[in-house]
Amino acid sequence: MDITRFTSKNFLIPGIIILVLLIALSILPLYSSLYMVILVTAILMYIILTVSWALFSGPSGYLSLASAAFFGIGIYTSAILLPNTGVVLPLLLVVALGGVISFIVALLVGFLTLRLRGIYFAIFTFGLVELIKQVLIFWEINITGTRGRFIILVDNAHIYWVMLAIFVLLMLTTYFLRRSKFGLALQSIGENEEAAAHRGINVTMVKVITFAISAFFMGAVGATIATRWTYIDPYIAFNVLFSFLPILMAIFGGLSQIYGPVLGAVIFAYLEEVLLTKFPYYYMLTFGIVLVGVILFLPGGLVGLIQRLRRRRRRKGGPVEQNANT
């Protein structure tokens, strides 16, 4: 890798901004209120869900509705390993296990289903969430004779740091995956799968592995957030809304740039925090209207809008500025 890339102006300034932001975020529990910590934890949760959904579905073009399944698997891993009675495992180990179990399930599901094209894949993954939920409900009622589980309480700052660590790991993974040969292979599958296969790319392998990596992060985030929810049942853990929220946030932000899904997640997670408790029906109504509106009027999302505005300004600025940019 060329070292000058890291010292050039284009790289240095965003680099410094990101570093300062990261330091500010990592010491957040030391200087801000508990409410702020919990709010940022929720925002991070949505960012991780959204970015990990976009990691696979963005470049490959396969619309996955399985996010809620992997998220739920993570939640249930926590629920089983961190009961509020009995032996308790360390949080980090549980989080890692939640991720690994989701990863393995995604590998199996991926090998079975990723040969389904287009909308069939979406339908299948949608069914997966409901199937797991129904079987779990049956299992809890008939085999274990329980309904729902309580999870041991974990310190809020602790949850926050774990969430932040998953977030940083995810952003690094996304960044380097996009630039790697592997990421380019995924991109070419999204553009034309047959052509990619003819170029010698093992299309099934690339798709399944990326799908599983994105599932790992969803499982990890589920295992983390479960400790804040304290009570879990199949309806809470496997809520289809968690399949659609990340998609809305990603599309709202825009899929063409790495920061698009982050932007969308931050805005929506904040809106949810403000509106959901006071006006739940109005919040969900707004959610629906924005989803339809974005699909209809803002196909490139906020990123697309920003790029369009920039291009317009550049055109007005004349040729001088255009030269400076090239």
Q: List all residues 6 or more positions away from 252 whose beta carbon is below 8 Å from its beta carbon.
A: 264, 267, 268, 290, 294, 298, 301, 302
Q: How far is the CB of 287 from other proteins (least distance, A)?
A: 5
> Count of CB atoms within 10 A of residue 9's CB?
7
Nearer to other proteins, 161 or 268 (CB): 268
**Shortest Cβ 119–other proteins spacing (Å):** 5
- The CA-based angle 93-215-165, given to 5 degrees, is 45
143 versus 324: smaller Cβ distance to other proteins: 143
Give me the least distance between CB of 321 and other proteins, in Å please: 31
Looking at the Cβ atoms of 129 and 162, the one nearer to other proteins is 129
Report in angstroms how near the CB of residue 136 gets to other proteins at its nearest.
10
> Is the CB of 85 or the CB of 142 nearer to other proteins?
142
Q: Cβ 79 to other proteins, closest distance in Å?
A: 20
Looking at beta carbons only, is 13 or 108 nearer to other proteins? 108
Nearer to other proteins, 52 or 243 (CB): 243
| Nearest by Cα to 275 from 285, 265, 264 | 285
Rounded (5°) CA angle 58-59-62 = 70
The nearest distance, CB 286 to other proteins, in angstroms, is 9
For the bound state, the minimum distance from the C-beta of residue 289 to other proteins, rounded and expressed in Å, comes to 6
Identify which of residues 100 and 122 has a Cβ nearer to other proteins in the complex: 122
Q: Summarize as ranges the residues that interact with other proteins (CB under 8 A).
A: 61, 63, 112-113, 116, 118-120, 122-124, 126-128, 130-131, 134-135, 137-138, 141-142, 240, 244, 247-248, 251, 281-282, 284-285, 287-292, 295-296, 299
